Structure 1
């Protein structure tokens, strides 16, 4: 998380609270250390954000403080709201929490005349039927993609056969009915897609792979472009 985002989240966490919030509670919520929270609080106070309190006692945001409104059009608010509701279909708990957080931030920052379009949207998003995976955390997959770390998985195919794989995750593909992990598979020596719900077990390895300044992503995208495929097809487009 960027520090600017974390500072904003601290203000959001303190907003409207009638009782002090401890640094430990903020640290747990934002998944950082207590020392980091102390530094962030000091930074906000130095920027004249009216946060009162002290280490060991907790912190309060003085009533009456508000952030300047963000300027969005009605269409932009509806686009953000629709996107946040669509995220609920993909069965990724952390992204779902993040989508709700986005809507909460907007609710407190956009002008009042736009707030009704956020709170009572004029559309309905149906529930998706993607199966939530048990053998791997999608948040871990996103982290390994960013960190270029390998994952060892036990994978069950459509014939119920299990294989052991070490994969280099490149991207996560979210469809209405399935979530795929695009990766280089060391066993097959080629790009493969793995259905997240068919991963029985997974271990994030310390071993890293060379991202090659996006070379893997470029090769994977080129292969998909040359051989357009649906999510249930083989090679770079089929869950292996």
Structure 2
């Protein structure tokens, strides 16, 4: 196999699924060594592909310079409109405004026919009962999660007891009645689920846990699915040890 063909095949593999794809898996699929995979990843990055990840944690294709920047089927566009309007209903003010701005940008960049379809979309979303408002600025929590730094906060449980926590934030989940933070809790030495409306005195630290967030979140979600959280009458009744 020529190197140019191998690079093409590697890009095809990176495009499949959400990732991350480990070097060992890619090497097996391409019948080459993991060391060759790392060299080829570096080459693809030099060619303009944006690939996240590093040795030991796998690689994820973030942006593919070979694909056109915009192009949606009508049903894909309807799904985007519905999803963004749902975010406007359940998101915090910054996230809701970002969703509205994304809709405006889509409308400005789409072909005329699809822009008309977006402007007069037949799908919408409305929540009569929105999640409880957060006690903190969720934008700060999202930023700390993306930056992969530990955060501190006070947490009030259902009985009114307040404890101080330092956690590794992994991701946010929007349930019907509340928004929760999935995090590795230093106090419990385990993954916990925190309702954001019960968090106060939030502070981002400078303690980094990069690049552990993605594999930790993947493991946490796998465990949640195994516990069949989605099938439980109350998402907080799973064996996932929620901090209710």
**1:117-156 alignment runs, 5 A limit:** 117-127=117-127, 128-134=129-135, 136-156=136-156
Q: C-alpha offsets along residues 106-127 of structure 1, whole Å, 9 cap, x if unaligned?
A: 1111122222321122123122
- Taking a change above 3 Å as real, the CA distance of residues 107 and 235 of structure 1, as seen in their structure-2 partners, is same
- Taking a change above 3 Å as real, the CA distance of residues 118 and 223 of structure 1, as seen in their structure-2 partners, is same
- Taking a change above 3 Å as real, the CA distance of residues 113 and 234 of structure 1, as seen in their structure-2 partners, is closer
**1:69-218 alignment runs, 5 A limit:** 70-127=70-127, 128-134=129-135, 136-212=136-212, 214-218=214-218
SS, match of residue 240 in structure 2: helix
Bigger drift between 165-174 and 88-97 goes to 88-97
Name the structure 2 match of 1:233: 237
Report how many residues are paired: 172
Bigger drift between 190-199 and 97-106 goes to 97-106
Counterpart-to-counterpart distance in 2, 1:179 and 1:239:
13
1:71: how far off? 3.7
Name the structure 1 match of 2:63: none
1:146: how far off? 1.7
1:72: how far off? 2.9
In the alignment, structure 1 segments of 5+ residues that lack a partner are 1-67
Counterpart-to-counterpart distance in 1, 2:87 and 2:183:
22
Counterpart-to-counterpart distance in 2, 1:215 and 1:71:
31
CA RMSD across the alignment: 2.3
Is the 1:155–1:162 Cα contact (8 Å) retained in structure 2? yes
Is the 1:156–1:163 Cα contact (8 Å) retained in structure 2? yes
Counterpart-to-counterpart distance in 2, 1:213 and 1:200:
23
Counterpart-to-counterpart distance in 2, 1:168 and 1:213:
8
In the alignment, structure 2 segments of 5+ residues that lack a partner are 1-67
Name the structure 2 match of 1:52: none
1:219: how far off? 3.0
Q: C-alpha offsets along residues 20-47 of structure 1, whole Å, 9 cap, x if unaligned?
A: xxxxxxxxxxxxxxxxxxxxxxxxxxxx
- Taking a change above 3 Å as real, the CA distance of residues 158 and 115 of structure 1, as seen in their structure-2 partners, is same
